[in-house]
C-alpha cells in the first residue's frame, strides 16, 4: 500500500474540466468532512478571468501565478494543521505537480465525465465566467491523473450526494487497506 494512501491528507484537490461539478462537489465534500472549502477560481488574477470571459483559453504562463497561489494556500492550511478541499481544474500533470509540489499529504480527486454530459450541464449553467465554447479546449488539455498520482476517480454521472459518498468511501477504503497492510507487516 502506498504511504500517500495511508495518511489522512491535509488537502484534497477536486479536479476536472469546467462544468464537471468541482465547486459543488468540493463544497459538499468539505462540509461532509468538516474541512475548509476553497474555490480555486478565487485565486485567479483579474487578467485570467477577463481572458477566459472573452473566450480565450489560458496559457501555461497565465496559469503559473494562479497555481502558485493555490499551492501557497495548501502549504498555509497544511502547515497550520488544518485541512481543506480545493476545487481546481488542474487539467495537466504539470499543474498538479505545482499544486502538490512533492507533498505526500495532498490527494487528487478526479471528476470524470464525458464531453457530452458536461456540455449539457454547461448549457444549463448561468452566471459563470467560463463560456461553453472553451470546453473542447479543456478536454484537449486534460491529462487524467495517472495511477502513480494515487487519484480518487469518480464518475460524475450520478447525483452530487452519491458522488460525494463515493469519494468518502474510496478515501476510507484506502486508509483501511493501509491499516491492514501495516498489521500484516508486523
Query: Which domains, from first to last, does the chain contain?
Result: 3-185 (3.40.50.300)
pLDDT confidence bin for 153, thresholds 50/70/90? very high
107 strand-pairing partners: 12
Contact between 106 and 74 under an 8 Å Cβ cutoff? The reply is yes
**Beta-carbon neighbour count of residue 2 at 10 Å?**
14
Edge-to-edge order in the sheet of strand 11-15: 36-39, 84-87, 11-15, 106-112, 152-155
Give residue 68's pLDDT.
Answer: 97
CA-to-CA dists, residue 15 to 9, 57, 65, 79, 80, angstroms: 16, 17, 18, 22, 23
From residue 85, how far is each of 30, 33, 47, 88, 96 by CA, in Å? 6, 9, 25, 10, 14
- CA dist 18 → 70, 77, 145, 150 (Å): 17, 25, 16, 22
Separation of alpha carbons 133 and 100, rounded Å:
29
Say if residue 135's pLDDT is above 90: no
8 vs 77, which has greater pLDDT?
77
Q: Is residue 1's pLDDT more than 50?
A: no
Digit-coded pLDDT (tens) for 12-47: 999 999 889 999 999 999 999 999 999 999 999 999
Residue scoring higher pLDDT (134 or 75): 75
Amino acid at each position: 500500500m502506498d504511504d500517500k494512501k495511508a495518511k489522512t491528507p491535509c488537502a484534497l484537490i477536486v479536479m476536472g474540466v469546467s462544468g464537471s461539478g468541482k465547486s459543488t462537489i468540493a463544497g459538499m465534500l468539505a462540509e461532509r468532512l468538516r474541512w475548509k472549502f476553497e474555490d480555486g477560481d478565487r485565486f485567479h488574477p483579474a487578467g485570467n478571468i477577463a481572458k477566459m470571459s472573452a473566450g480565450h483559453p489560458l496559457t501555461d504562463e497565465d496559469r503559473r501565478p494562479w497555481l502558485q497561489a493555490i499551492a501557497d494556500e495548501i502549504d498555509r492550511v497544511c502547515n497550520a494543521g488544518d485541512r481543506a478541499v480545493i476545487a481546481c481544474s488542474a487539467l495537466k500533470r504539470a499543474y498538479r505537480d505545482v499544486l502538490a509540489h512533492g507533498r505526500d499529504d495532498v490527494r487528487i480527486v478526479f471528476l470524470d465525465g464525458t464531453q457530452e454530459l458536461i456540455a449539457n450541464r454547461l448549457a444549463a449553467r448561468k452566471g459563470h465566467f467560463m463560456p461553453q465554447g472553451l470546453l473542447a479546449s479543456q478536454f484537449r488539455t486534460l491529462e487524467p491523473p495517472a495511477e502513480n498520482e494515487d487519484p480518487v476517480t469518480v464518475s460524475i454521472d450520478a447525483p452530487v450526494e452519491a458522488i460525494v459518498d463515493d469519494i468518502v468511501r474510496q478515501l476510507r477504503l484506502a486508509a483501511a487497506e493501509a491499516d491492514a497492510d501495516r498489521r500484516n507487516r508486523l
